[in-house]
Homo-oligomer: A and B are copies of this chain.
Amino acid sequence: MGSNTFRLVVFRYRPDGGFHLVDEIRQAVRLSEGADEAGLRRDALERAEHTARLYAAFCEASEVDEVVVAATSAARDAANGEEAMRALSADGALDVRVLSAEEEAWYGYLGAVNSTTLGDGHVLDLGGGSVQVTQVRGRGLQQAISRPLGAVRMTERYLPGERASRSDLKPLRRKVQKEMAGVRWLAGAGGRMVGVGGTIRTLARMHQRAIDYSLDELHGYVLPRAGLEDLIEAMLELPASERGRLPGLKHDRADITLAGATVISTVMEAVGVERIEICAQGLREGIFYERWLAPADPPLIQDVRRSSVLNLVDEYRADVPHAEEVCRLAHLLYAGLVELGLQRDDPRERELLWAAGMLHDVGVLVDYNDHHKHGFYLILNAGLPGFDHAELAMVALLARAHRKALPSTAPLEGVLEDDDDERLDRLACCLRIAEQLERGRAGGIRDVRLRLDGDAVRVEVTAVGDPAIPLWFAGQEAPAVERAFGRTLEVVEAD
């Protein structure tokens, strides 16, 4: 029960397996709207009660096993908070827990570190009522502050009218600067920053639309502060009631996003960061992780990237023994290419190859025909938390290039990094040959070694049984080798 939005999410999970968001309802309640010294306003409370009742009935009817209800700063800070909580309990059907500022920061942090690779840096969690900034060290929560600088509150205090000019933002910026300047561990700290909350997601969506970004995925998107300032300029040009016309800006957030963007940009400036990584998870997921990962304390996923891949393997019911064998062979081929001096060894590339190897066949779930294309769709649209967008794109493109047409980066230009064209070609080579060697699903290849033989890359295969299939199939990958390394391919049985 946030200061701006009440949101109900339903997770399905197995304690030792994957998890999955299966339902969601969202209402822009504006609980904190017009709150003053007397506390939350009557009409805001009525809206909140109405929604709380609906959610209570939903929870009872849908037979979820466990319901956790959390309220944040609007409820926490109001003079009439206790009364508000009684109202929000929907006649006792909901056991509302008002999070302290520390708890609010903690759960936002848990959502962020369990869905990103953030080891050291900051989490910025901007809600309707408050902003939390957390310092992360070695994945641990080191320091946290919570300040009542939320998007709804700041809109009411600093930008209440239909129109706002650049100079109207100055008092708000000064207010945020002043709040941040007093926090020693924060000012000028630099490093990575992960952004959490509805406002930052909205701004990321707007930025993607503005630059015509080719990947429809918020989590992992990197928003530059300069881009944030451009969005602020664009919002300043329109009256509040018309800002909903801006691509990516929902009508029920059209008025509060300007103040929110200004707070975020000012905090980024104070911390000294020029980019913020969007995290689509947050407080709700943090609360979920605490349960899912119990009794782990702190409830941290050990390896977020690995867990993301295995979560999809599980969801899409991949053939794990086959996938693992393809990974093993692809890594042998990769190592061989490094040994031959055809490429340098890069642990990140090996990891991408592993992820693509584990997921290369998931598209069979849709249809065997074109399953490489279906895998591309499934991976890209499910997402891989912990992988940045260029990496996610690479894994999806590798799955797409594991058979049939040679690799192409065409669908995802603008998402990939500069040298990803040739990276895709090289890694696809390993994946394609590995897949062909494992075409018989036999696990019958004991070892693979590479030699240079004039212009040819010679793959020497040691097999348990008759290597006729692997030799024949793998030999068909000459065009991929030609493209990636400008060499011919021979696949032979080892002496």
Contact = CB atoms under 8 A, between A and B. Distances in A.
Interface string A24-42: 1100000000000000000
A291 to B, nearest CB: 18
Interface in A23-64: 23-25, 53-54, 57-58, 61-63
Interface stretch (A66-74, A101-109, A125-133, A377-385): A377-385
Interface in A189-219: 216
A315 interface: yes
A367 B380 CA distance: 10
A439 B61 CA distance: 10
Contacts of A20: 364, 368
Given A54-B468, A368-B22, A468-B54, A61 B440 contact: yes
A363 B168 CA distance: 45
Contacts of A468: 53-54, 57
Contacts of A316: 365
A366 interface: yes
Contacts of A377: 366, 377
A469 B58 contact: yes
Contacts of A22: 319, 364, 368
B381 A440 contact: no
Main secondary structure of the interface of A (DSSP, over half): mixed
Q: What band does the interface of chain A fall in when counting residues whose beta carbon is under 8 Å from B? A: 35 or more
Contacts of A230: none
A143 to B, nearest CB: 32
A17 to B, nearest CB: 14
A411 interface: no
A345 interface: no
A57 B315 contact: no
A185 interface: no
Interface of A: 20-25, 53-54, 57-58, 61-63, 216, 315-316, 319, 364-370, 374, 377-378, 381-383, 439-442, 444, 465-466, 468-469, 472
